[in-house]
A = this chain, B = another copy of it.
Amino acid sequence: MYKETNLRSIAKGISWRFVATGTTIIIVYTFFGRLDLAIAAGLLETILKIALYWGHEKIWQKIRWGKERIEPFNVWFTGLPLSGKTTIADLLYQKLQKLDIPLERIDSKDIRALIPDIGYTREERNRHIKRIGHLIQTLQKNSISTVCSFVSPYRESRKMIRQMVKNNIVVYVKADLETCQQRDYKGVYQKALQGEIKNFTGISDIYEEPQHAEIVIDTEKISPEEAAETIFKYIKKNYIK
């Protein structure tokens, strides 16, 4: 969120005055053909209007009418590990930033890096998602939209998010388990298969497919760039006035 510095306000005021007074002088000169009087009128106008404009602004600042809260939305990416959630979410975030709306990116790995020991049991995951829900709520109260990417394998936690936040857009990033395993540059599927990682979604824990996702991205068919563009258009159409 930005505010104007005093210097900027003054510079802007002066630059507008040049434009405005210039116009007045030209008009008066055109009508009456007297340059001296035209300039005098222009200068008098300048002094008067600086004061009047200031007063006019002050009065309007006190009027609440016509001010509208910016309506935030939440994009919730769900899908198997390595399905491509983070990649698409990052691309979408970049696109949304250009719209100049208050925006926050929340990714599972950042949160888990910051606060380790969250755990991967059903109960721990649900509690974790609830905390994220609270974070989104707090941000939304301040008109900040969010782009979240979490495996979020259980219906109950995705449903909880939907109940907690406004304008929720679930994006299901669909990829075959085989495809995700082939993309396993982190070696996490390998570790899960060997039992080194427990409760690993897709291997030793269930992924419950979303049934009410607003958008389904089939990563076998479209590229991350195309996916981000599809979601971006959906948001622009439905949530950006």
Contact = CB atoms under 8 A, between A and B. Distances in A.
A229 interface: no
Interface residues of A, number: 55
Interface string A126-149: 010011001100110111100000
Contacts of A141: 104
Given A2-B68, A143-B1, A24 B45 contact: yes
Number of copies: 2
A69 B2 contact: yes
Interface in A1-51: 1-5, 7-9, 11-12, 15-16, 19-20, 23-24, 27-28, 31-32, 37, 40-41, 44-45, 48-49
Contacts of A44: 27
A66 B7 contact: yes
Given A67-B5, A117-B127, A56 B142 contact: no
Interface in A52-82: 52-53, 56, 60, 65-70
Interface string A165-196: 00000000000000000000000000000000
